[in-house]
Amino acid sequence: MPTTLAITGAAGRMGKRLIALAAEQPDLFKLVAAIDAPNSPAIGQDAGTVAGIAANGVPIASTLTGNPQVIIDFSAPVATRALLLLCRERKIAMIIGTTGLTPADHDLINAAAATTAILQATNTSLGVNVLLGIAAQVAKQLGEPYDIEIVEAHHNLKKDSPSGTALSLAESICQATGRNLDESLVHGRAGTDTLRKKGTIGMHAVRMGDVVGEHTIYYATPGERIELRHVATNRDTFVRGALRAAAFIAKQKPGRYSMANVLGLSSV
């Protein structure tokens, strides 16, 4: 039986691609609900038509209709918070791709995970999630003599900075090397006293044009430099990862999961 889905932000860039790519795999996925903001002009329209595919008979609504196994949420923190309460109450599994979440939001995720399966990821690209482990391993093996800098680039409409993926990369490196994340990060540099401090991790954000997502980690010491880089050329890479995660999370018991679990990089 296919996994039944509800997709939030159904009229947005990610939502439309989720609807379109899920429709390409009818044996694996069935869309039963599409949600968008109450003031969206797409409310009441057929979700398939809005996504640029054949009509699928699922109207876009401002609230959840039907009883999906999984909600895929790429929206905004305020919408994610409301959905978490709903998923907790109705025991609906949830994929959270929303970025810009606060520590309080993660407390809400933990609370919801007590009654249903929740997978939260700053990036659902399979390549990025493999990179998270590699970045940590390289930092640990190279050790303190190597300076670490992270540069991320996204389109000019992205609201949060640095990106959730860049922060996840830094967190992975800090965990592997015994650093404190908050104390280690240096966000950009400006002024007359910006001499690099040992053990810090530089974090730099670029916003331009229609860049989908680029992340580069530099490891440098006198005489050599290593660069690890991931480039997303279209959003479908995130969509495919999210759909793979949905198929995974639909079969899991209550708890908090990550893309590492989906990829078999971490035990469930």
- Write the pLDDT tens digit of every residue in 146-197: 999 999 999 999 988 999 899 999 999 999 999 999 999 999 999 998 999 9
Q: Strand 224-232's sheet: what is its strand order?
A: 185-187, 201-207, 147-154, 213-221, 224-232
C-alpha gyration radius of the chain: 20
Give the mean pLDDT of the chain. 95
3-state secondary structure of 115: coil
Residue of 16, 154, 215, 230 marked catalytic = 154
- In this structure, the chain runs to a length of 268
Question: Could you give the CA distance from residue 235 to residue 241 in angstroms, rounded to a whole number?
Answer: 10
Mean pLDDT, range 27-38, rounded to an integer: 96
The matching CATH number, chosen from 3.40.50.300, 3.60.20.30, 3.10.310.10, 3.30.360.10, for 126-232 is: 3.30.360.10
Residue 268's pLDDT is what?
A: 53
Q: Is the dihedral of CA 79, 38, 25, 235 positive or negative?
A: negative
Residue 99's pLDDT is what?
A: 83
Question: Could you give the CA distance from residue 255 to residue 253 in angstroms, rounded to a whole number?
Answer: 6
Confidence at 122, pLDDT banded by 50, 70, 90: confident
What are the residues whose beta carbons fall under 8 Å from the beta carbon of 1, sequence distance 6 or more? none
User: Is the confidence at residue 267, as pLDDT, over 60?
Assistant: no
Q: pTM value?
A: 0.84
Residue of 158, 159, 204, 251 marked catalytic = 158
> Residue ranges of the domains in the chain?
3-120+235-263, 126-232
Out of 75-84, 199-208, 238-247, least confident range: 75-84
CA-to-CA separations, 5 to 22, 33, 62, in angstroms, rounded = 9, 7, 16
User: Is the confidence at residue 8, as pLDDT, over 60?
Assistant: yes
91 flagged as catalytic: no
User: Is the confidence at residue 53, as pLDDT, over 80?
Assistant: yes
Mean pLDDT, range 22-37, rounded to an integer: 97
User: Is the confidence at residue 101, as pLDDT, over 60?
Assistant: yes
Domain at 3-120+235-263, CATH class: alpha beta
Residue 65's pLDDT is what?
A: 84
Q: Is the dihedral of CA 181, 182, 183, 185 positive or negative?
A: positive
140 flagged as catalytic: no
Mean pLDDT, range 44-58, rounded to an integer: 97
Residue 29, Cβ density class (10 Å: 0-12 exposed, 13-18 middle, ≥19 buried): buried
Mean pLDDT, range 223-244, rounded to an integer: 96
Segments of 45-188 assigned E as strands: 60-61, 70-73, 93-96, 117-120, 147-154, 185-187
